Structure 1
Amino acid sequence: MPAFALAHLRTPQVNDDVIEYLERIQATLDPYAGRFRVHGVQPEVIEGEWPGTVVIIEFPDVERARAWYASLAYQDILPLRLRHIEGSAIIVQGVGPDYDAGRTAARLRADAATAG
């Protein structure tokens, strides 16, 4: 199943370190088949607040997403961003192409009935 690395960059800014980070990040993603799906765009906020921008990188699976983040190549450039941009980052496993929220609801309902 695909996995995604998501970053909420609350204080995006452009400076030499951030530009260098951008110049070098793709080379860190390539060995793990990571691909940008959303990169540094201002989201349309429809609920709550979302200061800053969002980044979404897709990987073939959660193992490769974790391996990319932990890689020496990425850890080497990460301080270039962290020194200048406040944010949060997560890795999350995606769902398969046949995922159906209705089936999930049915399973949860059945589990609740058995527990009750």
Structure 2
Amino acid sequence: MPAYLLFLREAPVRDAAEMAIYGEMNRSNPRDPKLLPLSVYGAIEALEGEAPDGAVLLQFPTAEDARAWYESPAYQAAKVHRLKGADYRAMIIQGL
């Protein structure tokens, strides 16, 4: 059953240098073959409530695969820079 990892950036980037480090670390890590990016900072049209500043939606075959990618040492090392650079929420959403 597919699962989705959703990142919501709550406000504009506060430290572009940290976000650049985060991006470079993600690009330099080997790409998980189970990860399928569905939307990466695409246009957002809020239908209810306030839209986040940005959103990333990643698909994985299972929630366990999503959690394994998120908890991997490589992503955890990059995550430090994302959290220094901007305010985010992250969640795993179980698909149908």
TM bucket, shorter chain: 0.7 to 0.9
2:3 maps to amino acid: A
| TM-score in terms of structure 2 length | 0.85
Unaligned runs of at least 5 residues, structure 2: none
Counting matched residue pairs gives 95
Higher relative contact order by CA 8 Å / sep ≥ 6: 1 or 2? 2
| TM-score in terms of structure 1 length | 0.72
Bigger Rg over Cα: 1
Displacement of 1:23 after TM fit? Answer: 2.2
4+ residue runs over 3 A deviation: 26-29
* Identity level (%): 33
CA RMSD of aligned residues (A): 1.9
Unaligned runs of at least 5 residues, structure 1: 96-116
Q: Is the 2:7–2:91 contact (alpha carbons within 8 Å) kept by the matching residues of 1?
A: yes
Bigger share in helix: 1
Distance 1:29 1:37 in 2: 18
2:64 maps to amino acid: E
